[in-house]
Structure 1
Amino acid sequence: MGYIEDLRKMIGTRPLILVGAVVGAIDKEGKILLQKRPEGIWALPGGLLELGESAEDAGRREVFEETGVEIGQLELAAVFSGKQYFRKLPNGDEFYPVTIAYISSDVKNSTIKIDGVETIDARFFPVQELPAHTSPLVKEIIKHYIEMPKGQF
């Protein structure tokens, strides 16, 4: 993430617009992959785009880096942005995220290997049986997934 660090050196903690991608990977049993982040929140694997990287490639990369799961084809689920998603980090950095959410039922390898840094646990969960402390954004994305016409992805 050298690009963001370089920007922060120039502008300090002032608000930025940051673009990221998250992926709801759905296994053959219809369960969704969630990662438990160090702060105890269950979320979708994802992260910020690197310079020159497509949102789709960033989503695939982040899922693999954070969980070891490989995915193929992605379908756009929704884009989340706006002042309600504003974040101020403990170090004072402020940002407005633009989160591009994808769904993928094209799971190439479902063997989970957590990185122990960004992910302290990862599992596939039934969409109706999410763990406690699941991110509200995950619930919004699952709602979009459930409402998608069958066979759309």
Structure 2
Amino acid sequence: MGYVEELRGIIGTRPVNFVATTVVVVNETGEILLQKRSEPFGAWGLPGGQIELGESTEDAGKREIFEETGLVIENLKLVDVFSGSDNFVRLKNGDEYYVVLVAYYTKNFSGYLKADGIETLECGFFDINHIPDNTLERHKRVINRYLEVTKNN
């Protein structure tokens, strides 16, 4: 049982703050990696997830990307930190939380892309100007900020 499950066993579904990380993984043609998520079902978003106790946000990003997509990532660079009421999440099981989302980007990855079939139903690289309409709003904000941060690079 992980940290989140243990905490939920104590507090139930009440709102809580969680720290999570996400990574904009960029391929050699400038496309970004997106995942079709199991929660909310069928929505597209950036891969990532909550950090475990004592884990750095960078290590959590590397772990989550590997678990969800099979890719090994390196050389993470900070995009920004996102927080506030725009990052409220209510899961289908009733759990509620506000995400403090630490977003990174990288162009350094290896391995073979493979959806885990649990959190990630499908994954692939998308033209940054043609992402799916049902991409999570909070992840669209991350993508837009990534574009701002890297526009002169």
TM over 0.5: yes
Give the aligned partner of residue 141 of structure 1. Answer: 142
Tell me how far 1:49 sits from its aligned partner.
Answer: 0.3
Give the secondary-structure state (helix, strand or coil) at the position aligned to 2:42: coil
C-alpha separation between the residues in 1 aligned to 2:133 and 2:94?
A: 28
- Bigger share in strand: 2
How far did residue 138 of structure 1 move?
2.4
What is the one-letter code of the residue matched to 1:147? E
Cα distance, 1:132 vs. partner? 2.6
User: More displaced, 95-104 or 8-17?
Assistant: 8-17
For residues 123-147 of structure 1, what are the alpha-carbon distances to aligned partners after superposition, in whole Å with 9 as ceiling and x for unaligned?
0011011123111122212211222
* 1:19 aligned residue: 19
For residue 54 of structure 1, report the CA deviation from its aligned partner.
0.5
Q: Does 1:33 align with 2:30?
A: no
Residue 129 of structure 1 aligns to a residue whose secondary structure is coil
Residue 22 of structure 1 aligns with an amino acid whose one-letter code is T
Instruction: Indicate the residue corresponding to 1:46 in structure 2.
Output: 48
Match of 1:62 in 2: 64
Structure 1 alignment gaps of length 5 or more: none
Q: How many residues were matched structurally?
A: 150
- Residue pairs, 1:78-89, within 5 angstroms: 78-89=80-91
| Distance verdict in 2 for CA 1:129–1:106, change over 3 Å | same
Q: Which amino acid aligns with 2:131?
A: L
1:112 maps onto 2:136 in alignment: no
CA distance in 2, matches of 1:138, 1:86: 13
Q: Distance in 1 between matches of 2:144 and 2:82?
A: 13
1:34-76 per-position Cα deviation (integer Å, ceiling 9, x unaligned) = 0001201110000000111100010011011101111101111
Contact 2:86/2:138, CA 8 A, preserved across alignment: no
Question: Is 83-92 or 114-123 further displaced after alignment?
Answer: 83-92
Per the alignment, in what secondary structure is the counterpart of residue 139 of structure 2? Answer: helix
Q: Is residue 5 from structure 1 mapped to residue 1 from structure 2 by the alignment?
A: no
Amino acid at match of 1:100: V
1:37 partner SS: strand
Percent of residue pairs identical: 48
- For the 8 Å contact 2:87–2:138, the answer to whether it is kept is no
Alignment RMSD: 1.4
CA distance in 1, matches of 2:148, 2:86: 23
Give the Cα–Cα distance (whole angstroms) in 2 for the partners of residues 131 and 93 of structure 1. 26
TM-score by length of 2: 0.91
- Compute the displacement of 1:103 (Å): 0.8
